[in-house]
Amino acid sequence: MMDRKNYVILVDKNDRKIGLKEKMKAHDKKNGKLHRAISIFVFNRKGETMLQQRAPDKYHSKGKWSNTCCSHPMLGERVLTAAHRRLKEEMGFDCRMKKAFEFSYEADVGSGLREREYDHIIFGRHERNPRINRDEVVDWRWISLPSLKSEIRKNPEKFTPWLRMMINKVDSYYKKAKII
């Protein structure tokens, strides 16, 4: 029996499912395939977003700062369902969320791996501190989007490639969107 957590959903450029692939093979630097992903940004009332620092044992982007939570939906799982599941697993809480936008990107993430993702960006609202899963997250913090953009400009190597690529669009969308 296939372990759904070890597979990603392969998609075309319009996010239509075209197959499944074992997660590590889908992230192979030379033969990686476009697959569905989620990136969650949780905001508080002050307009700050919660960042996480990825655990040192993650399979890529170890120790880098990233958005609140990121992952891949499992086969048969809706995007928002996956977002709720992973937020609870990684950060120890759940909150109301809504889909903000989508975008595709490709990035070298080290360790012989490459991300090729059709990413669903999801915004949520939460006020309390998380109860982080130490297997996934080593640290966390709240930060304003202007401060985050400034830190990324000054020290891009401290942040995940996908966060660096999407931060301007997140900021622009956040300014226009009514957050939950």
**CA angle at 177 for the pair 169 and 48, rounded to the nearest 5°:** 70
Does residue 124 register a pLDDT over 70? yes
Which backbone phi and psi does 58 adopt, to 5 degrees? -65, 155
Return the CATH number at 117.
Answer: 3.90.79.10
Task: List the beta strands (DSSP E) in the chain.
Answer: 7-11, 17-22, 35-43, 48-54, 65-66, 69-71, 97-110, 113-125, 137-144
The predicted structure's pLDDT at residue 177: 74
Residue 160 to residues 14, 67, 73, 95, 141, Cα–Cα distance (Å) = 24, 9, 20, 24, 15
Residue 104 to residues 4, 22, 38, 63, 178, Cα–Cα distance (Å) = 23, 20, 11, 23, 23
pLDDT tens-place string over residues 11-26: 999 999 999 999 999 9
Q: How many domains does the chain have?
A: 1
**Is 69 among the catalytic positions?**
no
A 10 A CB-CB count for 139 gives 12
**Is 117 among the catalytic positions?**
yes
pLDDT tens-place string over residues 127-147: 999 999 999 999 999 999 999
C-alpha of 133 from chain center: 16
Annotated catalytic residue within 90, 115, 117, 136: 117
For residue 146, the enclosing domain spans 4-176
pLDDT tens-place string over residues 29-46: 888 899 999 999 999 999
Annotated catalytic residue within 69, 70, 95, 136: 70
